[in-house]
Every structure is written in structure tokens, then in C-alpha cells.
Amino acid sequence: MAPVRSYTNWNCRENDAKEQIEPYRKYFFICEGANTETWYFRKLIDIRKSLNIHPLIDIRLLEKTDEDKDISFPRKLIAFAESQKDNQEIAFDKERDKMIVVFDADIFETKVQDYDDVIAEGEKNNILAVSNPAFELFLLLHFENSYEQEILSNQDKIIANQKEGNQTFIYKLLLSKTGVNSKKNPQIGELAEKVDIAIMQEKKMNEDIHNCKGKITCNIGKIIESIRMDKEI
């Protein structure tokens, strides 16, 4: 079994117990143990109250192993999410709390053909947060007018997701915009402070994960907005 990591900073206020009539719903972001997603969601947790996000958020990370190289890792993330619901350490309430499985859809563009099956399986009991081609797309949305200036004008190259050396086009766009190596520098997580911009930019593009084949797609901002409103996603 691959190692599991988590990060929690619920930082309860002294008056939470008085204000809270019912326990807040908890949302668990389920990710592979990649630095980029980890740094971003850690920052989001740390600043959640300044963003007016009151439900509790945690991260559960599943590390990739050598045996995962040739399989559909999203399926393993979904299975991992299901297993975590019985983890007594996190006190998951199956009637109230939610698992959010975060994964990139680029693998389904080139290597794996069972995307619809994965979505159907995952959505039975969980929320799916999908970026096509990759999470760097969501990070790029944290800049004003990034959709028009960086994404719309380069959509064919972004969705093709071809590598030059070991860098994809979307990765290079993000690096050019931020000056930060998103895979090696935790500073990339600071973009969470501008999540409101990302939510608005994302509305300009496809957020329908059921219809994302060959389309630049992301629904992470939509999910974060729903968490803030604490409504059913």
C-alpha cells in the first residue's frame, strides 16, 4: 500500500462552538502526493477563514509507486477515497462529509480510454475535481485575463499537451507567468490567495467534466465556490 499523508489546520475560533448549531461539513481533497497540489491546498486550508470558507478542509495524499506507472491512477484515487471513509482517524461522517478526488484528465487524451467509466464510478459517492490537461491550468487561472491572454490563444497547444524535454506547454505557460517552478517551489501555493480570480476566470471556459474530451476543462474553482457556500456540489 502506498504511503498516505495528510495536512489539517482547522484553526477553530474560540467562539466557533457557540456559533455552530450543527457541526460543519468536512471536505477532504484526495490527491496524488505531488508537490504542486499539496502546496496549493495547504495554503487554501491555512487561509480558508479569510476567504470566508467555514466548512473544514483536509487533504489526504496517496503516493504513486512504481506499479502505478501503467495504470489509470484516477481509479486508485477513487478507491483510496472510499477506503478513507472508514479511517477512524479522520472521523468521516458518511451522511454529511464529502471526498473530493482531484486528478488530471490528460491521461485519458492519450493513454487510457475509460474516462466515462471512471467518472461514473467516481461520482457514485464522491465529488470529482478534474483539470484537462493538468492542474497547472487551474493555477494559471489565478491571474486577471489569463483565459483570454494565455489560454484561449493557445488552446490547441494546451490540449495537445506535448512535451518539450520534460515540460508540457501548460507547465511552461505557468512558469512564464509566475517565474516559479510549480513542481519544486512551495511558493506556488501562494496563488490560493487569489482563488476568487480563478473562480471567475474558470467560468469563461468549460467546467463540464462529463464533456471534456479534447476540451480545455476545469471545475476546481466551481467546487471551491460551492464549498464556500456550503451547498451540495
Percent of the chain exceeding pLDDT 90 equals: 72
Give SS3 for 102: strand
Longest dimension (CA), the chain: 56
CA distance to 40, 100, 208, 214, per residue, from 182 (Å): 10, 22, 25, 24
- Asked, for residue 179, whether it belongs to a domain, the answer is yes
Which tens digits make up the pLDDT trace of 9-47?
544 445 455 554 456 789 999 998 778 999 999 999 999
Strand pairing class (26-32; 56-62): parallel
Nine cell digits for residue 71: 495504470
- Asked, for residue 15, whether it belongs to a domain, the answer is no
Taking all residues of the chain, what is their mean pLDDT, rounded to a whole number? 88
pLDDT-derived band at 108, boundaries 50, 70, 90: confident
- Asked, for residue 202, whether it belongs to a domain, the answer is yes
Give the chain's domain count: 1
- Asked, for residue 59, whether it belongs to a domain, the answer is yes
The 10 Å Cβ neighbour count of residue 46 is 16
Strands across the sheet containing 4-8: 4-8, 56-62, 26-32, 98-104, 127-132, 217-218
- Quote the domain boundaries for residue 186: 4-9+24-229
Which tens digits make up the pLDDT trace of 166-216?
899 999 999 999 999 999 999 999 999 999 999 999 999 999 999 999 999
pLDDT-derived band at 4, boundaries 50, 70, 90: low
Which residues lie below 8 Å from residue 199, measured CB to CB, with a gap of 6+?
A: 221, 222, 224, 225
- Asked, for residue 19, whether it belongs to a domain, the answer is no
- Asked, for residue 153, whether it belongs to a domain, the answer is yes
- Asked, for residue 14, whether it belongs to a domain, the answer is no
- Asked, for residue 157, whether it belongs to a domain, the answer is yes
pTM for the structure as a whole: 0.87
Question: Pick from 103, 101, 125, 138: which is nearest to 216 by CA?
Answer: 138
Instruction: Using the structure block, give the residue that is written with the C-alpha cell 490547441.
Output: 156
Which residues lie below 8 Å from residue 130, measured CB to CB, with a gap of 6+?
A: 102, 103, 104, 105, 209, 212, 217, 218, 219
- Check: CB of residue 224 under 8 Å from CB of residue 199: yes
CA distance to 110, 135, 152, 177, 191, per residue, from 36 (Å): 22, 8, 23, 16, 11
- Check: CB of residue 227 under 8 Å from CB of residue 127: no
